[in-house]
Amino acid sequence: MNGSRVLVLNGPNLGRLGSREPDVYGATSYAGLVERCTALGRELGLAVEVRETNDEGEMIRWLHEAADGRLPVVLNPGAFTHYSYGMRDAAAQRTAPLIEVHISNPHARESFRHTSVVAAVASGTIAGFGIDSYLLALRSLAEGARGGGQG
């Protein structure tokens, strides 16, 4: 996957990292998340592009772009996780690995957060490791490209 493009897609409110509930989401800002993901991507030989949207339609268009381009995705759907069947159906069209990530552990939070409509169509889910959830996902994509499988 040397030089391969990877999309890191973030749903609603993730652009407010660092100021939004730091006791839940940590003190790293969204800019810090972007820097950590792109820096690790460079180290792993991945061209990482990080995006954030509060718009469900835009997220669906990005997932279509990834499917059409056979691009691996690290997806933090935010609140879309729990109810966006349109986003889930777009994610199901994936043509490359898609790893669902969450900063917090949804199962340790409110009961409505326990359901993910994305999990069943994702290659895997990484949750509860703070910003490191993204880094673990990127490492998994890089390992999969070196023959560890991911699909």
The yes-or-no verdict on residue 21 having pLDDT over 80 is no
Of 2, 13, 7, 21, whose CA–CA distance to 137 is shortest? 7
CATH superfamily of 4-148: Dehydroquinase, class II (3.40.50.9100)
Q: Which active-site residues does the annotation give?
A: 25, 102
Quote the Cα angle for 52-77-131, to 5°. 75
Question: pLDDT tens, 103-150?
Answer: 987 765 667 666 899 999 999 999 999 999 999 999 999 998 655 444
- Token digits of residue 12: 């609603």
- CA–CA separation, 116 and 105 (whole Å): 12
pLDDT at 34: 94
Q: What is the pTM of this model?
A: 0.85
List pLDDT tens digits, range 44-61.
999 999 999 999 999 999
Which pLDDT does position 84 carry in this prediction? 92
- Name the strands in the sheet holding 46-52, side by side, starting at the edge strand that comes first in the sequence: 46-52, 4-10, 73-76, 98-102, 124-127
| Per-residue pLDDT at 56 | 96
Q: Which parts are annotated binding residues for substrate? A: 76, 82, 89, 103-104, 113
Interval 53-98: pLDDT, tens: 999 999 999 999 999 999 999 999 988 898 899 999 999 999 999 9
